[in-house]
Structure formats: structure tokens, C-alpha cells
Structure 1
Amino acid sequence: MFRHVVLFRVRDEVTDPDVSAAIDELRTLGASPGVLAWTVALSLDTRKGRVIVEDGTLRDRAAFEKWRSSESHRKVAERMAGLADWWVADWET
């Protein structure tokens, strides 16, 4: 299996409706082939600002590479680039 975790630190000027829309878009990425589990949520801990957590498990590295190169992922990544900075962790289990 392949794990993919992203922490998106939402910029302070981004509105709550834009954050909600971003979460909805990120959730759609879990419907892709090869995705075994997919969670997107707004962190309850706001001491460092608003953080969106994306936690995914994919079948294998090949499924991840296909998912990452998809048009839907590209579009969501472009949207997120305007809203947040992020940190990514990917690993095989």
C-alpha cells in the first residue's frame, strides 16, 4: 500500500466559504481508481491557523503515480496553491 498525507496551512485572508469549497474539492479526489481510503478534514487545533488534513491510502505506488498525474489532481492542486502552503508525506507500507 501507499500512504499520502498532506497538511494544508490555509492563508489567513482566505474566507471560510473558500475553505469549505476547497475541502469539498479535495474530497472528490478520493473517488479515483486505486484509492482505498480517503479522509479530508479541517483540523480541530487552530493554534497555528486553519489546517486542512488530507489522509489517503492507495493500492500501490503505481496507483499513486496515476492518481497524482490525473487532470482532477492537477486542477485541485492549482486551486490549493492559491489558498494554502502545504507539507506532503508519501511512503510505502
Structure 2
Amino acid sequence: MFRHIVLFRIHDHVSDAYVDAVIDTMQSFVLFPGVVSWTTTRSLDERKGRVVVEDATFESREAFERFRGDPAHVSAGTTMSEISDWWVGDYEA
């Protein structure tokens, strides 16, 4: 199994409605081939601002690499780079 965990610190000027739309788009990645589990949600702790948590498990590193190159992921990455700063934790379980 390959784990991919990302914390997105959303910029303050981004509307809640836009964040919700982005979360909906990212949550649809649960249907991508090779995904074992996928959750995209807001952190309940907003002391440091709005944080979106992406917690994904893939069948393998290869499945993750295929996902990473998919146009839907590339588009989401571009969007997230415009509205947030992020930290990634990838590892093999």
C-alpha cells in the first residue's frame, strides 16, 4: 500500500464556497483506478486557519504515479497551488 497525505492551508482570501467546490472535486478521486481509500475534508481545528486534509491510500506506488500524472490530478494541483500552501507526507505501508 502507498499512503499519500496532504495538508492544504487555504489562503485567507479564498471563499468558503470555492473551498467546498474544490473539496467536492478532490473527493471524486476516490473513483480513480488503484485507489483503496480516499478522504478529502476540512480539518476540524482551524486555529491556524482553514486546512483541507487529503488522506489517500493506493494499491501501490505505481498506482499513485499513474494518478499523479492524470490530467484531473494535474488540474487539481494547479488549482490548489493558487489557493493554498501545502505539506505532503507520502510513504509505503
What TM bracket, shorter-length normalisation?
Answer: over 0.9
Aligned residues: 93
Other-structure match for 1:20: 20
Which consecutive residues of structure 1, in runs of 5 or more, have no partner in the other structure? none
Cα distance, 1:4 vs structure 2: 0.3
Distance in 2, matches of 1:52 and 1:31, equals 19
Cα distance, 1:61 vs structure 2: 0.6
Note if 1:47 corresponds to 2:47.
yes
The aligned runs of 1:11-90 (5 Å cut-off) are 11-90=11-90
TM-score w.r.t. structure 1 length? 0.97
Superposed structure 1 runs of 4+ greater than 6 Å apart: none
Distance in 2, matches of 1:55 and 1:68, equals 14
TM-score w.r.t. structure 2 length? 0.97
